[in-house]
């Protein structure tokens, strides 16, 4: 091979090597780029992390807490319902006053208008001239006497009319305010209802983490516990029967007859109850009126120390007060506990004691 051919061959080989090296380097960079992209690309959506498993005891505790919180909200609901009831009663009386005041103002306005009209009609002629031209002298003199008497009392009449108008405006404003307040209370009811329902939905979600067998075992255990408690109530009733003429004992007897009936929000019988609905009806059976609200019932009657409790006394729990039952002796109460439960006979010590009162 001559010199020129050898030079051309080496140039070609060098060009190929350079090209191959560039290709390998480009491929390496390309692979690195693909690898980095794959490393940092995040899927558009990741599956939600599974809820951590819970034991049966943990589930029971969580559900009981959520149901107790729902019952506390239910008592706020019942309290607002009671406020609405009282507000509507007051509004009804106020509207009756408003109707009467409207009629009064209308009558006074007519009187004032008649005086003004009489003065306008008689302003151009003096009394002597009017007497000369009138065909009914006796009637005119009578009218003049009346007008003069009205004139004497005109300032007083106008003042009374102005005061009556002011009272009417005040009543109208008060009615409008009361109606707005009732509307807000109705909205509050809806909010409280939704909050309670959410607590119960959360409780159902906790139970959903368990197997069907575990849920069945929890339900069976709660039924057995309720049956034991209510059986204890019957045994205690035999050993120490509720008797006597005391209103508290009779109210307790009423509550004992409801054992086993279900808890329902804002229920007050005849076959379902919330805590204050049960105590309200029990004391109502002996002629004592109570509001349908645990916190409001706390302000009714005479305060009683824990050591002086008697049958039928109202016993309150938690802070702020959100639960009430009737003292049943032996450190126990009869109460409507919470959603998912029924009226039961239970130790007071299972709940946080807040105070007691004796209605009537």
Q: What is the pLDDT of residue 135?
A: 55
Q: For residue 85, which phi and psi values (nearest 5 degrees)?
A: -60, -50
What is the band of 165 on the pLDDT scale with cuts at 50, 70, 90? confident
Q: For residue 268, which phi and psi values (nearest 5 degrees)?
A: -135, 50
Q: What is the pLDDT of residue 48?
A: 44
Q: What is the pLDDT of residue 100?
A: 92
In angstroms, rounded to a whole number, what is the distance separating the alpha carbons of residues 113 and 101?
18
Q: How far is CA 77 from CA 24, 180, 189, 272, in A?
A: 76, 18, 6, 17
Q: What's the residue count for the chain? A: 360
Q: Which residues are known catalytic residues?
A: 275, 323, 335
What is the band of 160 on the pLDDT scale with cuts at 50, 70, 90? confident
| Range name among 88-102, 117-131, 319-333, 341-355 with the lowest pLDDT average | 117-131
CA 199-205-207 angle, to 5 degrees, is 110
Q: Are 258 and 278 in contact (CB under 8 A)?
A: yes
- Which is higher by pLDDT, 153 or 283? 283
Q: What is the pLDDT of residue 158?
A: 78
Q: What is the pLDDT of residue 131?
A: 45
Q: What is the pLDDT of residue 151?
A: 56
CA 137-142-143 angle, to 5 degrees, is 95
Q: What is the pLDDT of residues 252-302, one digit of tens each?
A: 999 999 999 999 999 999 999 999 999 999 999 999 999 999 999 999 999
Q: What is the pLDDT of residues 178-225, one digit of tens each?
A: 999 999 999 999 999 999 999 999 999 999 999 999 999 999 998 898
- What domains are defined for the chain? 57-208 (1.10.287), 228-358 (3.90.1720.10)
Q: What is the pLDDT of residue 22?
A: 45
The tokens describing 135, both together, are 């065909």
- Which is higher by pLDDT, 107 or 127? 107
Q: Are 337 and 331 in contact (CB under 8 A)?
A: no
């Amino acid at each position: 091979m001559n010199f020129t051919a050898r030079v051309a061959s080496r140039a070609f080989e060098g060009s190929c090597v350079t090209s191959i090296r560039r290709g390998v380097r480009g491929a390496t960079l390309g692979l690195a780029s693909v690898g980095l992209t794959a490393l940092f690309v995040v899927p558009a959506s990741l599956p939600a992390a599974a809820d951590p498993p819970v034991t049966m005891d943990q589930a029971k505790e969580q559900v009981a807490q959520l149901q107790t919180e729902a019952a506390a909200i239910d008592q706020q609901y019942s309290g607002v319902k009671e406020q609405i009831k009282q507000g509507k009663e007051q509004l009804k009386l106020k509207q009756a006053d408003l109707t009467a005041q409207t009629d009064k103002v209308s009558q006074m306005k007519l009187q004032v208008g008649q005086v003004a009209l009489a003065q306008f009609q008689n302003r151009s002629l003096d009394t002597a001239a009017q007497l000369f031209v009138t065909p009914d002298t006796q009637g005119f003199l009578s009218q003049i006497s009346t007008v003069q008497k009205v004139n004497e009392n005109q300032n007083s009449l106008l003042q009374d009319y102005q005061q009556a108008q002011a009272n009417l405006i005040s009543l109208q404003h008060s009615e409008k305010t009361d109606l707005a307040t009732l509307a807000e209370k109705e909205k509050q009811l809806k909010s409280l209802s939704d909050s309670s329902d959410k607590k119960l939905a959360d409780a159902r979600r906790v139970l959903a983490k368990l197997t069907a067998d575990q849920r069945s075992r929890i339900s069976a255990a709660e039924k057995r516990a309720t049956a034991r408690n209510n059986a204890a109530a019957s045994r205690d009733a035999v050993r120490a029967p509720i008797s006597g003429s005391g209103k508290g004992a009779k109210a307790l007897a009423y509550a004992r007859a409801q054992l086993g009936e279900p808890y329902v929000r804002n229920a007050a019988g005849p076959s379902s109850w919330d805590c204050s609905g049960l105590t309200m009806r029990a004391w109502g059976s002996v002629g004592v009126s109570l509001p349908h609200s645990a916190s409001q019932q706390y302000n009714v009657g005479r305060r009683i120390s824990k050591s002086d409790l008697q049958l039928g006394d109202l016993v309150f729990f938690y802070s702020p007060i959100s639960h009430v039952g009737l003292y049943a002796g032996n450190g126990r109460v009869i109460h409507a506990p919470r959603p998912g439960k029924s009226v039961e006979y239970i130790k007071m010590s299972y709940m946080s004691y807040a105070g007691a009162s004796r209605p009537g």
